[in-house]
Structure 1
Amino acid sequence: MENWFYNPSITFYMWSISHLVFIFLTLFTLFAFYFLRNQLIPYRDNIRILVGWALILSRLSLDIWYLITNTWNLNHSLPLELCSIATICCGIMLLTNNKFLLEVFYFIAIGGAIQAILTPDLQFGFPQFRFLQFFIDHTLLILAPLLLIWLYQYSITWRSIWKSFLTLNLIALFVFIINILIDANYMFLREKPQAGSLLDFLGPYPYYILFLEIVCLIIFSILYIPFYIKRKNKYKKAAASNN
């Protein structure tokens, strides 16, 4: 049990075989759901609820792991990291089939989870619980908004970018205040992660936060492109049919 549940001597190495394997598994899962989306529509309610509860239970299991392993700490164990917030909100989004949460967390969840999977701030290596929970959680985090888009034909508008961006900044402001009060670094708002991440390319503190705002808008705009293309093609077909 010790080897898979809690063993600090088994550390995580970025771009190791286990890391690459789970990146592949994430991509495989997403492509499988995309190509099977039409066949899955009759089961969409069950899938939505199952993934929604899986996200909620994923975060709950992490809290239980912190307590069992005696590693819970006020400065790093609260659900105040962006992906932890997104995990809880995306779980609620799926369980309630909430369109507003989809508009907001389509960008936040997918953008944040991709960065986390590629450059994890993770200490525990495979096959430990924390490693498995981390990658399963972030894979489901990417999948969650896509389920509502692929299986329920929900769409994202240009205004959704600004709803998401404003919400992200309100979350960051709230978390920054908490960081000051408890001397923590949730969402890396006071310093960069020690293990290294994409933030290393954005300059020193506090300038990387300003550049991160620009990067977020760029990423959000890229994530909007498929909907822009779809909407543009729809207008072209409508104009052609009128002619």
Structure 2
Amino acid sequence: MSYFWTGEGGVPGDFAYGKIHLFAVAALIVVTVLMCIVGKRLSAKNKRNVILVAAVISLGFEIFWRGVWIGRGVPVLETWPLYPCNLAGVLVPLIVFTNNKTLKEIFYVFAFIGGIITFVYPDGIFVNSVLNFSILKSILQHTAIIFIPVFEYFTGQFKPQFKKLWLAIIGLFIHLFNSEYLPRYFGMEGDYIFLRSGLPFVIPGVPQVLILGPIAIIVMFVFYAALDRKGSKAALRRKKQ
């Protein structure tokens, strides 16, 4: 069992799209779909209770895994959520508690997109042939930032408004500041928002921020247009007038 916590067991390597990865994806889909189907039939109070329980579990796990890391001797500063999905893992459950619509517009859709991208392109996550705590941490964290926005959307607790897309764009800049400039301030090295990595859409000689930035904005635009078709059509009609 100590291997589970230390990650020293199994066979190290790249096991993306292996059994653990595919099982995690299948479990995420099944649980999310079933909960959304059941959630639609619940009263408003019980819908709220379900998402509060999910937020408590999610935030409790965020605190727990940091305690495990610190117990191993990892400096407290290094448990700060520098990666976008790590920050979302903390912010999304906190936003559930506040039930603040503005904060949901700022962070929910990008958190969902980030979680989906991570499961599709799980770089550096499924790095062992057996399940260990580090892998489980990533699975649960990304599951939470997908499940919470999706459940709230399908049960009517969160409806993105196309006219408030600008708030989601502000959220992108908040993530950029947290992932790119805070580490520099604290003297920490790392490519936390993938601006110096080998991800797709790399153009030699062109700063990655000038590539990923517009792509991120376009993706947010598409998602908001799809999630609020009525609002996006109204905005386009106003623009034509």
Instruction: Give the match for residue 191 of structure 1.
Output: 196
Question: Distance between the aligned counterparts of 1:24 and 1:48, measured in 2?
Answer: 21
Question: Distance between the aligned counterparts of 2:34 and 2:205, measured in 1?
Answer: 40
1:90 pairs, out of 88, 92, 110, with: 92
Instruction: Give the match for residue 110 of structure 1.
Output: 112
Q: What are the residue-to-residue correspondences of 1:201-216 with 2, within 5 Å?
A: 201-204=201-204, 207-216=207-216
How far the C-alpha of 1:124 sits from its partner, in A, is 4.7
Question: Distance between the aligned counterparts of 1:146 and 1:24, measured in 2?
Answer: 16
Deviations 1:104-129 (A, max 9, x none): 11222011111122222326534212
Alignment of 1:132 onto 2:136: yes
One-letter code of the match for 1:81? Answer: Y
Is the alpha carbon distance of 1:211 and 1:66 closer, same or farther for their aligned partners in structure 2, counting shifts above 3 Å? Answer: same
One-letter code of the match for 1:53? Answer: V
Q: What are the residue-to-residue correspondences of 1:119-158 with 2, within 5 Å?
A: 119-120=121-122, 121-122=124-125, 124-125=127-128, 126-158=130-162
Contact conserved, 1:106 with 1:145, CA < 8 A, in 2? yes
Instruction: Give the match for residue 237 of structure 1.
Output: none
Contact conserved, 1:107 with 1:161, CA < 8 A, in 2? no
Q: What are the residue-to-residue correspondences of 1:20-31 with 2, within 5 Å?
A: 20-31=22-33
Alignment of 1:8 onto 2:8: yes
Residue ranges of structure 1 left out of the alignment (5+ in a row): 235-243
1:56 pairs, out of 53, 59, 78, with: 59
Partner of 2:201: helix, strand, or coil?
Answer: helix
Question: Distance between the aligned counterparts of 2:157 and 2:80, measured in 1?
Answer: 34
How far the C-alpha of 1:175 sits from its partner, in A, is 3.5
Partner of 1:187: helix, strand, or coil?
Answer: coil
- Over the aligned positions, Cα root-mean-square deviation in angstroms equals 2.7
Question: Distance between the aligned counterparts of 1:19 and 1:189, measured in 2?
Answer: 22
Count of paired positions: 228
Is the alpha carbon distance of 1:115 and 1:205 closer, same or farther for their aligned partners in structure 2, counting shifts above 3 Å? Answer: farther
2:165 pairs, out of 146, 156, 161, with: 161
Question: Distance between the aligned counterparts of 2:52 and 2:206, measured in 1?
Answer: 40
Partner of 1:100: helix, strand, or coil?
Answer: helix
Is the alpha carbon distance of 1:64 and 1:232 closer, same or farther for their aligned partners in structure 2, counting shifts above 3 Å? Answer: closer
How far the C-alpha of 1:144 sits from its partner, in A, is 1.4
Question: Distance between the aligned counterparts of 1:164 and 1:15, measured in 2?
Answer: 30
**Moved beyond 4 Å, runs of 4+:** 73-76, 230-234
- TM-score of the pair, normalised by structure 2: 0.82
One-letter code of the match for 2:188? Answer: D
One-letter code of the match for 2:193? Answer: F
Deviations 1:33-92 (A, max 9, x none): 23223223452122121111122122212212212333x257853212111111111111
One-letter code of the match for 2:56? Answer: W
Instruction: Give the match for residue 238 of structure 1.
Output: none
Question: Distance between the aligned counterparts of 2:232 and 2:214, measured in 1?
Answer: 25
How far the C-alpha of 1:204 sits from its partner, in A, is 4.9
Is the alpha carbon distance of 1:190 and 1:19 closer, same or farther for their aligned partners in structure 2, counting shifts above 3 Å? Answer: same
Partner of 1:188: helix, strand, or coil?
Answer: coil
Instruction: Give the match for residue 36 of structure 1.
Output: 38
Question: Distance between the aligned counterparts of 2:204 and 2:43, measured in 1?
Answer: 47
Residue ranges of structure 2 left out of the alignment (5+ in a row): 235-241
One-letter code of the match for 1:178? Answer: L
Contact conserved, 1:83 with 1:113, CA < 8 A, in 2? yes
One-letter code of the match for 1:164? Answer: A
Identity %: 17
